[in-house]
């Protein structure tokens, strides 16, 4: 989960790469064509694979066809059955515009698949599920079930795609600007408004890109594919959508896995501050418990807090070179930039103590290269659906969180931080002025309700997750009567992407939602932190 003007993993899973230290966007089927026992063809005497036939359900229509476009080839899609789901753009306007959502169904790897497939909900808001098929397959999710990927409305493989390359270009330029300066805010909001004006000029109903409509899209997909019952797996913002779907469209859901949990009832700036504190503290504690790291980098938390204050008062400017970019890149590091770097840097936790120590001793290049690499990476250009992101942020989050509450959340988590840093929550920089120019109606207050359900749920978190803190698992489980809460230690945001143990737990949960196998947790060890000279 992250605001798309910041370097994230991207917003759902924004991952810091160890090589270029840039953020990737989503990670994420191959298998043998199989015939699930519940997928009915038009001939009642035969069975057909899911997605093999055209089908209309209410206002939605599925049409088999070519696989959705992806920025790069995805080998996991080579054996997939594909097509498009056409749905109303705004269900409150019968007979209005329709939109098309790309669908890819990766067959189970076994010749005798289970009858209930898994549908994958991508993060962001704004990441494209189809491009994440590799992550699902690498994690074994299609071992004995088909896995269904559908582009959420507005995302890369949907029509229309609400990507705004001008925002991505500004993000790249912003590495050379003071992170939270008024002049940066002005340019940032100008980029947001230009994106809005461009999309509105194409006739897009910007108020129709939100959880309510997306949840209805997935409910329509299940019906249009003729699936009696399926399982839901959401990552990052996809957990937000999964929790809304459980509340609004519980029919046909056998079980739900949520990984990197973002509760709709708490989503907003205060939550990102709390999550950052938890993730940072988890990493600092792991270093303190490792003798070599503690000796070389004592009091790492205090060092980080001091660096934030010092850089906010006196920003550091440097230049770095990036892979594939022949020109040196100017980078400015101030307190806000350091906080946002750290939010993503938990994905490369072994490097963090050394990187902070280097910065404290006048060597900012490692952090500067990672900070710039995320924004200038090809994976950060033209792929995120900013129109969907703002549709969610500005209708469901900002109307129900005051600026005072947002600031208070930062003060509670980081009382020593300067007010200028606290004014811009990690991952959500300049969110309130952005939403003023985005100008969409507030969602009904019920969007902030907690989800109450008896659907079996696996609530997964990472001990180093600085984007959606691990305490969100117990929080959502309070009102989910059949929830299993699992925190995988030493792992960052979206543990399924990086932890073999998390993958084993997830697959075992879908096999038996009442008793997932968590035995692998007993064998996990902390990372070995890099020790500099």
How far is Cα 244 from Cα 466, in angstroms, rounded to an integer? 23
The model carries a pTM of: 0.91
Tokens of 2: 């992250």
Residue 530 contacts by C-beta under 8 Å, 6 or more apart in sequence?
A: 350, 351, 353, 354
- pLDDT mean across residues, the chain: 91
The confidence band for 45, taking pLDDT boundaries of 50, 70 and 90, is very low
- Among residues 121, 1, 3, which one has the least CA distance to residue 429? 3
∠ at Cα 53 (146, 129), nearest 5°? 45
- Provide the pairing of β-strand 253-259 with 316-322: unpaired
Mean pLDDT, residues 35-55 taken together:
55
pLDDT above 90 covers a percentage of the chain that reads 87
DSSP for residue 394:
I
pLDDT of residue 137: 97
Q: Which band of pLDDT confidence, cut at 50, 70 and 90, is reported for residue 47?
A: low
Contacts of 528 (CB under 8 A, 6+ apart): 290, 350
> Cα separation of 399 and 395, whole Å?
6
Question: How far apart, in Å, are the Cα atoms of 87 and each of 27, 91, 218, 255, 406?
Answer: 27, 9, 10, 25, 36
Q: Could you give the CA distance from residue 471 to residue 201 in angstroms, rounded to a whole number? A: 42
Average pLDDT over residues 109-121: 95
Q: How far apart are CA 349 and CA 16, in angstroms?
A: 10
* 3 state DSSP class of 40: strand
- What tens digit of pLDDT does each residue of 373-406 get? 999 988 889 999 999 999 999 999 999 999 999 9
pLDDT digits (tens, 9 = 90+) for 157-183: 999 999 999 999 999 999 999 999 999
Structure tokens at 122: 């991508």
Percentage of the chain modeled with pLDDT above 70: 91
Tell me the pLDDT band of 32, cut-offs 50, 70 and 90.
very low
Nearest by Cα to 283 from 350, 355, 371: 350
Tell me if 336 sits within 8 A of 424, measured CB to CB. yes
Res. 14: pLDDT tops 50: no
Tell me the sheet residues that pair with 341.
Answer: none
pLDDT the model gives residue 323? 87
Residues 112-123, mean pLDDT to the nearest whole number: 96
Pairing outcome for strands 316-322 and 118-121: unpaired
User: For residues 382 and 166, what is the distance between their CA atoms, to the nearest angstrom?
Assistant: 8
Alpha helices in 20-64 (DSSP H): none
CA pair distance 385, 378, nearest whole angstrom: 15
- What letter does residue 287 receive in the DSSP assignment? H
CA torsion sign for 479, 92, 203, 249 is positive
Alpha-carbon gap, residue 223 to 228, rounded angstroms: 8
Spatial contact of 189 and 163, defined as CB atoms under 8 Å apart: no
Could you tell me the pLDDT band of residue 95, with boundaries at 50, 70 and 90?
Answer: confident
**What distance in Å separates the CA atoms of residue 165 and residue 107, rounded to the nearest whole number?**
34
pLDDT at residue 29 above 50? Answer: no
**pLDDT at residue 46 above 70?**
no
**Cα distance between residue 116 and residue 36, in whole Å:** 8
> For residues 498 and 74, what is the distance between their CA atoms, to the nearest angstrom?
19
Question: What is the tens place of the pLDDT at every residue in 281-302?
Answer: 999 999 999 999 999 999 999 9
Q: Is the pLDDT of residue 40 over 70?
A: no
**How does pLDDT run across 433-463, given as a tens digit for each residue?**
999 999 999 999 999 999 999 999 999 999 9
Q: What is the secondary structure of 300-337 as a DSSP string?
A: HHHHHHHHHHHHHHS-EEEEEEETTEEEEEEEEE-HHH
Residue environment code for 176-199, b if the CB has 16+ CB neighbours within 10 A, otherwise e: ebbbbbeebbeebbebbbebbeeb
DSSP string, 63-126: EE-SPPP-SS--GGGTT-EEEEEEEES-TTSTT--EEEEEEEEEPPSSSS--SS-EEEE--TTT
- Statement: residue 6 has pLDDT above 90: no
Residue 193 CA to residue 416 CA, distance in Å, equals 34
Of residues 512 and 324, which shows the higher confidence score? 512
Burial of 106 (0-12, 13-18, 19+ CB in 10 A): buried
Beta-bridge mates of residue 101 = 85
DSSP characters for 241-268? HHHHHHHH--TTEEEEEEES---TTT-S
Task: Give the residues across from 118 on adjacent strands.
Answer: 147, 231
How many CA atoms lie within 13 Å of 494's alpha carbon, on the beta-carbon side? 34
Between 24-28, 215-219, 238-242, 357-361, the lowest mean confidence (pLDDT) is in: 24-28
pLDDT tens track for 234-244: 999 999 999 99
Q: Is 260 left (phi over 0), alpha (psi -120 to 50) or beta?
A: left
pLDDT at 533 over 80: no
């Amino acid at each position: 989960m992250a605001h798309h003007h910041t370097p994230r993993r991207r917003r759902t899973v924004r991952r810091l790469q160890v090589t270029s230290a840039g953020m990737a966007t989503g990670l994420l089927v191959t298998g043998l064509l199989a015939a699930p026992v519940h997928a009915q063809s038009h001939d009642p005497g035969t069975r057909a694979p899911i997605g093999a036939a055209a089908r209309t359900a209410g206002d939605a229509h599925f049409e088999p066809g070519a696989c959705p476009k992806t920025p790069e080839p995805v080998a996991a899609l080579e054996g997939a059955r594909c097509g498009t789901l056409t749905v109303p753009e705004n269900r409150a306007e019968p007979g209005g515009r329709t939109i098309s959502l790309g669908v890819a169904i990766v067959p189970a790897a076994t010749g005798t698949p289970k009858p209930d497939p898994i549908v994958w909900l991508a993060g962001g808001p704004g990441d494209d599920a189809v491009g994440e098929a590799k992550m699902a397959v690498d994690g074994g999710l299609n071992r004995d079930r088909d896995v269904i990927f559908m582009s959420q409305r507005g995302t890369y493989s949907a029509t229309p795609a609400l990507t705004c390359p001008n925002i991505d270009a500004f993000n790249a330029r912003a590495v050379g600007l003071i992170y939270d300066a008024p002049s940066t805010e002005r340019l940032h909001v100008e980029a947001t408004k230009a994106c809005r004006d461009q999309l509105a000029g194409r006739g897009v109903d910007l108020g129709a890109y939100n959880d309510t409509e997306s949840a209805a899209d997935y409910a329509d997909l299940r019906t249009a594919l003729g699936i009696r019952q399926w399982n839901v797996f959401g990552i990052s913002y996809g957990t937000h959508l999964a929790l809304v779907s459980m509340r609004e469209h519980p029919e046909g859901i056998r079980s739900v896995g949520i990984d990197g949990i973002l509760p709709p009832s708490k989503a907003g700036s205060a939550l990102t501050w709390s999550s950052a504190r938890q993730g940072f503290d988890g990493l600092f504690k792991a270093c303190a418990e490792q003798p070599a790291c503690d000796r070389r980098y004592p009091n790492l938390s205090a060092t980080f807090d001091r660096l934030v204050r010092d850089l906010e008062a006196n920003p550091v400017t440097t230049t770095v070179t990036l892979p594939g970019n022949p020109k040196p890149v100017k980078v400015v590091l101030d307190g806000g930039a350091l906080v946002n770097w750290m939010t993503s840097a938990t994905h490369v936790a072994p490097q963090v103590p050394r990187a902070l120590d280097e910065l404290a001793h006048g060597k900012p290049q490692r952090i500067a290269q990672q900070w710039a690499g995320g924004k200038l990476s090809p994976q950060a250009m033209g792929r995120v659906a900013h129109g969907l992101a703002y549709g969610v942020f500005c209708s469901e989050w900002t109307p129900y969180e005051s600026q005072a509450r947002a600031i208070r959340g930062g003060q509670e988590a980081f009382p020593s931080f300067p007010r200028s840093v606290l004014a811009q929550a990690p991952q959500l920089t300049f969110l309130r002025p952005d939403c003023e120019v985005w100008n969409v109606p507030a969602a009904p207050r019920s969007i902030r309700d907690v989800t109450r359900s008896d659907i079996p749920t696996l609530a997964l978190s990472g001990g180093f997750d600085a984007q959606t803190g691990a305490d969100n698992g117990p929080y959502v489980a309070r009102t989910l009567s059949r929830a299993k809460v699992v925190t995988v230690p030493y792992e960052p945001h979206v543990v399924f992407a990086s932890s073999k143990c998390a993958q084993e737990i997830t697959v075992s949960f879908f096999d038996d939602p009442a008793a997932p196998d968590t035995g692998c947790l007993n064998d996990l060890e902390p990372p070995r932190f890099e020790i500099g000279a």
